[in-house]
């Protein structure tokens, strides 16, 4: 994965994770399992470890 692809994937992961966090904390419902959400978070963590310049306060 090149830098541009990583940036795009990180942005998508953050949006997806935030969407699911909102559903869980505000609407008290889930669209995906906890394991699936953990998988998304782990992917984000690994990408940010490889591309620390894309880490933001909402990571």
Q: What is the residue-level pLDDT of the chain in tens, covering all 59 positions?
A: 999 999 999 999 999 999 999 999 999 999 999 999 999 999 999 999 999 999 999 88
DSSP state of 57: T
Q: What contacts 7, CB < 8 A, 6 or more positions away?
A: 51, 54
What's the farthest any 2 CA atoms get from each other in the chain? 37
Query: pTM of the entire structure?
Result: 0.90
CA distances from 11 to 16, 29, 39, 53 (A): 9, 23, 16, 13
What pLDDT is attached to residue 37? 98
């Amino acid at each position: 994965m090149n830098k541009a692809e990583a940036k795009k994937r990180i942005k998508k992961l953050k949006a997806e994770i935030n969407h699911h966090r909102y559903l869980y904390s505000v609407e008290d419902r889930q669209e995906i399992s906890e394991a699936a959400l953990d998988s998304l978070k782990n992917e984000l963590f690994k990408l940010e470890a490889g591309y620390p310049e894309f880490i933001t306060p909402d990571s």
